[in-house]
Amino acid sequence: MPGWHLFGAVSLTIFATLVYLAPTVLGARLRPSIPLAVGLVGVAVGPVLTAAGFALDLRPAVVAGMAVTLFGAVGQVAYAVDQYRHRGPFSTEHDWRRVVVGHLLGGTAWFAAACAVALAAVIGGGPVAGWSIGVLAVPMVGGWLLQELVGSWTHLVPAVTPGSPVDHAAQRRVLAFASRSRLVAWNAGIGLAWAGLALDAAVMAVAGAVAVGAAVAISVAALARSLTRARY
């Protein structure tokens, strides 16, 4: 699969969405900052340099590109954490907010972890060939892309679907179902599945996949149920 697109266009799109969504979700202010600038430059420039290195079979370019991408990923985590530190004083609907914030922040952490492992692999002499990211698809797709998607729809569905404040409150309750256990199962499952595949430990990989699959199924079911509570 052309997995390196996940580090480039897809991740840049997610980051651009997170720049505006994080302050909205957390009740913080969108303001210029060093982490924001670092995250933007790193995620925009690093994957392009990495792709050029792969295309030209130039290991130094691949290493430099992944280093810049990791720099951007760390900047993105710092931006998300900074927004969390300046969050508003919310006093209601904690389970719903936990799902949104947990997925958004957890996704940025998995992206940074994937970038760090990718950089270590090319520094350690991994082959500079092909466009597949192999087992890195676990943190990139399951930990990063899907978590950001679920966090986004959990916040946005009650805000954009038609209905009264009572309907939207009901949607938030549905979307918050099993908030703690879902987040734990999802992120622990990603770690188990990733480690299991990397270590060729089938039991660990299957256990992780089952945990993530259950969390994803609950999230999709909650989304479907919440949409039925809208007044079209």
3-state DSSP of the chain? CCCHHHHHHHHHHHHHHHHHHHHHHHCCCCCCCHHHHHHHHHHHHHHHHHHHHHHHCCHHHHHHHHHHHHHHHHHHHHHHHHHHHCCCCCCCCHHHHHHHHHHHHHHHHHHHHHHHHHHHHHHCCCCCCCCCCHHHHHHHHHHHHHHHHHHHHHHHHHHHCCCCHHHHHHHHHHHCCCHHHHHHHHHHHHHHHHHHHHCCCHHHHHHHHHHHHHHHHHHHHHHHHHHHCCCC
Kindly list the structural domains of the chain, giving each domain's residue range(s) and its CATH number in brackets, ordered by start: 4-228 (1.20.210.10)
Lowest mean pLDDT among 50-64, 92-106, 119-133, 152-166: 119-133
pTM of the model: 0.91
Q: Please provide the average confidence, as pLDDT, over all residues in the chain.
A: 90
pLDDT in tens, 97-115: 999 999 999 999 999 999 9
pLDDT in tens, 59-94: 899 899 999 999 999 999 999 999 999 898 887 889
pLDDT in tens, 143-158: 999 999 999 999 999 9
pLDDT at 5: 60
226: buried, middle or exposed (CB in 10 Å: 19+, 13-18, 0-12)? buried
pLDDT at 2: 46
Whether the per-residue pLDDT at 24 is higher than 80: the answer is yes
Amino acid symbol at 187: N
Neighbours of 142 (CB within 10 A): 24
pLDDT at 88: 87
pLDDT in tens, 171-217: 999 999 999 999 999 999 999 999 999 999 999 999 999 999 999 99
Whether the per-residue pLDDT at 22 is higher than 50: the answer is yes
Whether the per-residue pLDDT at 27 is higher than 50: the answer is yes
